[in-house]
Amino acid sequence: MATEETSDMRERHVQRHEEATAGGAFAPWIGGEPHETGESFETVDPAVGVPITSVPLCDAGDVDRAIEAAREGFEREWSETTQAERSRRLFDLVDRLREHVEELAHLECLDTGKPISDARGEVEGAIGTLEYYASICRAQEGRQVQAQEDLHLYTRHEPYGVVGGIVPWNFPIWAAAWKLGPALAAGNCVVLKPSSDSPLTATRVAELAAEVFPDGVLNVVTGPGSTVGARIADHEEVRKVSFTGGTDAGEAVMRSAAGHLAPVTLELGGKSPFVVFPDADLDRVVDAVADGIFYATGQICDAFSRALVHEDVHEEFRERFVERAESYTLGDPLDDATTMGPLTSREQFETVREYVEIGSEEADLLTGGGRPDDPTLADGWYFEPTVFGGADNDDRIAREEIFGPVQTINTFSTYEEAIDLANDTRFGLAAGIGTERTDLAHNAAADIDAGVVYVNEYGPILPEAPYGGMKDSGIGRDLGREVLDHYRQTKSVYLNLGEPSL
């Protein structure tokens, strides 16, 4: 039964929905203009369970039109742009987005349930990523190969043409920037698909970008992965696909792209360990592990969901960590005091709830385990920070990606056991190391199978460094200078030289 407090919160959100959506079309963006379709779907505010707005629903035919618009935009104008011109336009987009930081942050907050402070930081992170690729765009160069005296041999880089980007619901604007920055800097046109659970910032960015880029350079299509995402992956005109999401979906994308031999970048799931060695500074490490599992309500692919703690410090770590978990403020994401918002969808709430039921039979529930008691939050998909002790590495809650605020704590006694436990998983996205010893930090970073390793902290994630995983966590990398090679092809040019004569 709704209370006066829940009604007040709902009314506040409904008013903010109207304010946040007043300035945008929130529609697919194809060929430089909004695109209408015959059907629509609602994107729902997870804090109050109320629709924010309706978004046109694309089908495979709409995707085909977006791909055709991208191809035409590439052939008509974008393929002829210089690196300096692309850099300038990316900087123009950065300036345009900076004028709308608060608007985009509120859209992200409402659409995903992230606390407004986190949403604001992620919008800034997306803008910083685009700024990085605007900065290095002009530095792209081929090289001369000094093979023999009578031969001028050099390489040049060329874009693929049309590339597809498919981004998840947990980091909509930031993940979009990870795809758009290098793809556009390398000279491609893009067809981007945001998640149906959180499409608002991507569509708004495309609308703002229409004032910066030629028609067809940036296109956005909205709808489910089963139709819209699948069509992007299997369309023969899409010569490169970059996907962030679940491992099963990533495998499907890879199979579809293989039908026309399009290369793929896959940033997939994780079950990341944080290894706490006996010399660790627990003041730092407890916060690092908490940040790594409770940020974004645990809906992060590199979440530190497995704490592996040396037996000498296990009891103290567990006590401190439970206290830290219970310190989070669950509340209205629009409130700056809130440190944890709801899960993004009812489906994800049910998934987390089911895993906690399984975990309660496998391990010891130390705190959390369900909805918070606060009646103000009754309409949202809120879930308490949850900690299990005594978890075995073979337990389902310790092996399967939950994608929620659920932490397991396990123990080890030797360095070798710690590394074995850390690597005893099908995933290999990220890992954390808690130690004050440089030899332990460097050796463990080398020995753990993970694409990203954090020492004594969680994050930051910076555009300057590659990001991606090993094993079932994916192939290829986002971010870093190297990722430009994922969005361009290298051509070798052999120019045979005759003897000079007059």
Q: In what order do the strands lie in the sheet with 474-475?
A: 33-34, 29-30, 218-220, 189-193, 162-166, 240-244, 264-267, 474-475
326 included as an active-site residue:
no
Q: Which of 207, 267, 384, 471 is catalytic?
A: 267
- How far apart CA 170 and CA 186 sit, in angstroms, is 26
What crossing angle do the helices spanning 4-20 and 101-112 adopt, rounded to 10°? 130
Q: Which amino acid is at 487?
A: Y
Q: How far is CA 122 from CA 106, 173, 176, 231, in A?
A: 11, 7, 11, 29
**Is 301 a known active-site residue?**
yes
Q: Which two tokens stand for residue 105?
A: 């942050």
Catalytic residue of the set 114, 193, 240, 271: 193
Residue 375 to residues 3, 159, 332, 383, 454, Cα–Cα distance (Å): 7, 54, 12, 13, 38
> Which one of the listed residues 109, 301, 384, 471 is annotated catalytic?
301
User: Active-site residue 58, yes or no?
Assistant: no
Please answer whether residues 140 and 477 qualify as being in contact, where contact means their C-beta atoms are separated by less than 8 angstroms: no
Burial class (CB within 10 angstroms; exposed 0-12, middle 13-18, buried 19+) of 175: buried
Pick the catalytic residue from 122, 384, 401, 471.
Answer: 401
Q: What is the dihedral of CA 241, 295, 47, 53, to 10 degrees?
A: -30
Whether 179 is catalytic: no
Question: 12: exposed, middle or buried (C-beta count within 10 Å: 0-12, 13-18, 19+)?
Answer: middle
Catalytic positions, please? 193, 267, 301, 401
